[in-house]
Amino acid sequence: MDVRRRINELSRLLLHHQHLYYVLSRPEITDLEYDRLLQELAELEKRYPQWASINSPTRRVGSDLDNSLEEHPHTVEVLSLDKEYITAEVVDWMGKLADRHGDSTGFVVEEKLDGASVVLYYRNGELERALTRGDGNTGNDVTANVRTIPSVPLILGSAQDLVVRGEVFMHRDDFQTFNQALENRYTSPRNLAAGTLRQLKSSQVARVPLRFNGYEAWMDAGKFAWSPEGTSLSLETDHVARLSYLQTAGFRMKGHAGFFCRDAGRCREVSQRLPELTVGTPADLESFVNQARDRRGRLNYEIDGLVIKINEIPLRESLGATAHHPRWAVAFKFDAPEAETRLSGIQIQVGRNGRVTPVAELEPVTVGGSTVSRATLHNQEYINALELRVGDLVQISRRGDVIPAVEKVVEPAGDGGTVFHLPNHCPFCGSGLVRQGAHHFCPNRNCPERQRRALIHFTGRGQMDIESLGEKTIHFLYERGLVRRIPDIYTFDPDQLSGEPGFKQRKIAAIREGVEASRNRPFSRVLVALGIEGIGNAAVRLLIENGFDSMQKLIDTAARGDPGSFAAIHGFGETTAGALVNYFQDNQNLSMIRELEACGLQMQAQNETGASDRSLENTVWIITGSFNHFSPRSRAEKEIIQRGGRIASSVTHSTTHLLKGESPGSKLKKAVETGLIIVDEDRFLDMLSTK
């Protein structure tokens, strides 16, 4: 027991000194003293492995074992953010929300670190798992690698269940030194941080000076005991309080942040709690943005904008989210990196659903550290607004530091040519183009380019993930007439490629194995792979959670011709609902689905909801107000979905129930007028306990 006690004592001491050194920058012992303590612990753990903790400080060194990056589902929503580039638009967004929800509505503004997003899961106060953002629903397990990051607390000060979302990043000077040793293999600190996280040996990760900054926290309200003193801030209702808690829990809070609110008293209260926050009214945001933009180049870490979030947690839950981003937050992106170059041509692309997209061909130029030679031009209206001609000198940017875009004409072409116009006919099949809204479409479903793009999408990594069927291989198979339609992937014989240039037996075997493995991809992947307009991973998850967990259910619902059943899903809109109805009413699509089913593809979700209780089947719910037992409200949504019910964002003809909490919003009045069944929290708990 003396040995076990010493191991625990050394672990506690070392974690304490790691926090002082890496987070607070206030070391109390020399490096030599620290190394001696670490060496003693490592030797004891080697001799007595049964008493070594999974979160021992020795884990910072990493392991030479191969880490397989398994996938695990997130238990919290890990969404992207809507983006704005104009300060006035953000101020207007804040003002509208304050008008609607009261002057006490607060907005927290934080620097948007340019790193790799990671979610940390703590159980009973110890780091249990770390996941990448992934697709927002499922992430890669990088726990062994994250444990090597010194600024990540391995053990919290109290035995709480906690989820923390944050950013893994690098300081600029660390990046420059480390990247030079790698012969400048990486173009930015973000790329090196993201690439390092996916290393298969954590001992390699431990050598890279990664850092972590937390910016969101979720906790189990029933177990959480910490509360700030001398203030009305509450962890259950207040984001500022959660930031304060993260500091006390051992997380390093990076950068300059602000709090903006019309209520001066509220600003004073927040300033007392976190004096480092800049406070002001929404009208002061522009000044804060300008200061952040001026400060950006002097920082020792990279930021690409600011994130503006509503402070009040219940209001966030009330506003909810789309399938892509929350309605309570927005990312303000700094001016994108820009450069000037010559437009050498315009190429026409046709997508899998027939949309025609003009693409600018540019003389290569470096923008934001990357060479750019192509940029999207969106549609004819975009070209007309720019008055764009081939040969023009143009200004291009990387919006969001990622997507190349032509911003304006700097100098027109000297030959005085005319503004570029899209052709009247599809360049791939000759069909007359049809205009719908701002876009042109090729209406020919047998257009070879549409078919090729559909095949490439279907086999892609985010869909059926047939790695051996890349874009070049798909083009070759199509030109040879071996694969023209999606079902052909499962019926053609790869041995037909024997003797073809570039197709040796090893590659042919890989194609066969990849195709066979894809037959076992889950229903959710199959549905995304079909390429329905607007139906990506997030939308498919919502469909399955709301009871549309088989292809037949989707077909039967669409056959009624009423998009309302889909539009009632929280996060769906009329456009997405209409796209589903149109797709599943189409005879060609239905015929293809039947062929894919005969090929052995999964047409029903297996254990997606994980519940046999169907007591709420055929019910559609909306939720309003705040709750004691269901914070965040997504917990109530999960209970309903697991029992076969569905969640709607507003009252429609298909809505049956309203779950009412404290301080309900305007939905309650409409629900009463419509005659919905009103259920309070106590009754809801009774319903859940009665199967």
Q: What is the mean pLDDT of each run of 10 residues along the chain (691 residues)?
A: 81 79 65 75 81 77 60 82 84 92 93 90 90 81 91 84 91 86 72 82 87 86 43 68 84 82 89 85 91 87 91 88 82 80 95 93 83 88 89 81 77 83 96 91 96 95 86 94 96 93 91 91 93 85 88 94 85 84 96 95 73 72 81 75 77 84 80 87 79 50
Asked if 230 and 106 sit in the same domain, the reply is yes
Query: Is residue 109, in this structure, part of any structural domain at all?
Result: yes
Q: Which amino acid is at 550?
A: S
As a three-state string, the secondary structure of 253-317 is CCCCCEEECCCHHHHHHHHHHCCCCEEECHHHHHHHHHHHHHHHCCCCCCEEEEEEEECEHHHHH
Asked if 251 and 111 sit in the same domain, the reply is yes
- How far apart, in Å, are the Cα atoms of 193 and each of 209, 210, 368, 443? 9, 7, 18, 44
302 neighbors 169 (Cβ within 8 angstroms):
yes
Query: Is residue 165, in this structure, part of any structural domain at all?
Result: yes
Which structural domain, as residue segments, surrounds residue 564? 523-598
Residues 6+ apart with CB under 8 A from 126: 53, 54, 55, 154, 155, 156
Query: Is residue 71, in this structure, part of any structural domain at all?
Result: no
CA of residue 17 relative to chain centroid, distance: 34
433 neighbors 454 (Cβ within 8 angstroms):
no
Query: Is residue 30, in this structure, part of any structural domain at all?
Result: yes
- pTM score, whole prediction: 0.54
Residue where a domain terminates, one of 466, 494, 518: 518
Q: What angle do CA 11, 13, 15 make, to 5 degrees?
A: 65
DSSP state of 676: P
Six-digit token pair at 514?
């990849």
What is the pLDDT at residue 399? 61
For 67-106, letters b (16+ CB in 10 Å) and e give bebeeeebeeebbebeebbebeebbebbeebbeeeeeebb
Helix axes 172-181, 189-197, angle to 10 degrees: 70
Task: Tally the domains of the chain.
Answer: 6
Residue where a domain terminates, one of 476, 497, 518: 518
Query: Is residue 429, in this structure, part of any structural domain at all?
Result: no
Query: Is residue 57, in this structure, part of any structural domain at all?
Result: yes
Asked if 661 and 631 sit in the same domain, the reply is yes
Query: Is residue 301, in this structure, part of any structural domain at all?
Result: yes
Asked if 374 and 458 sit in the same domain, the reply is no
625 neighbors 662 (Cβ within 8 angstroms):
yes
Residue 46 annotated as catalytic? no
Asked if 470 and 529 sit in the same domain, the reply is no
CATH number of the domain where residue 638 is located: 3.40.50.10190
Asked if 308 and 384 sit in the same domain, the reply is no
Cα 248 to Cα 157: distance, rounded to the nearest angstrom: 8
Asked if 195 and 89 sit in the same domain, the reply is yes
Asked if 17 and 123 sit in the same domain, the reply is no
Among 303, 329, 239, 314, residue whose Cα is nearest residue 277 = 239
Place of tokens 């894919």: 596
- Please spell the DSSP secondary structure of 220-259, one letter per residue: -TTT-----SSS---TTTBHHHHHHHHHHTTPPPPS--EE
Given the residues 112, 254, 333, 667, the one annotated as active site:
112
- Please spell the DSSP secondary structure of 328-381, one letter per residue: TEEEEEPPPPEEEEEEEEEEEEE-TT-EEEEEEEEEEEEETTEEEEEEE--SHH
Asked if 116 and 142 sit in the same domain, the reply is yes
Cα 515 to Cα 466: distance, rounded to the nearest angstrom: 6
Cα 622 to Cα 652: distance, rounded to the nearest angstrom: 10
What is the pLDDT at residue 218? 86
CA of residue 376 relative to chain centroid, distance: 23
Asked if 531 and 676 sit in the same domain, the reply is no
Residues 6+ apart with CB under 8 A from 591: none
Query: Is residue 99, in this structure, part of any structural domain at all?
Result: yes
Pairing assessment for the beta strands 116-123 and 162-169 based on DSSP bridges: antiparallel
> For the chain, give me the number of helices (H) and strands (E)?
25, 23
Asked if 318 and 401 sit in the same domain, the reply is no
CATH number of the domain where residue 53 is located: 1.10.287.610
Asked if 117 and 187 sit in the same domain, the reply is yes
Residue where a domain terminates, one of 490, 518, 546: 518
DSSP state of 50: G
Q: What angle do CA 168, 316, 576 make, to 5 degrees?
A: 90
* End-to-end Cα separation, the chain, in angstroms: 49
CATH number of the domain where residue 306 is located: 3.30.470.30
Pairing assessment for the beta strands 439-441 and 434-436 based on DSSP bridges: antiparallel
373 neighbors 342 (Cβ within 8 angstroms):
no
CA of residue 570 relative to chain centroid, distance: 18
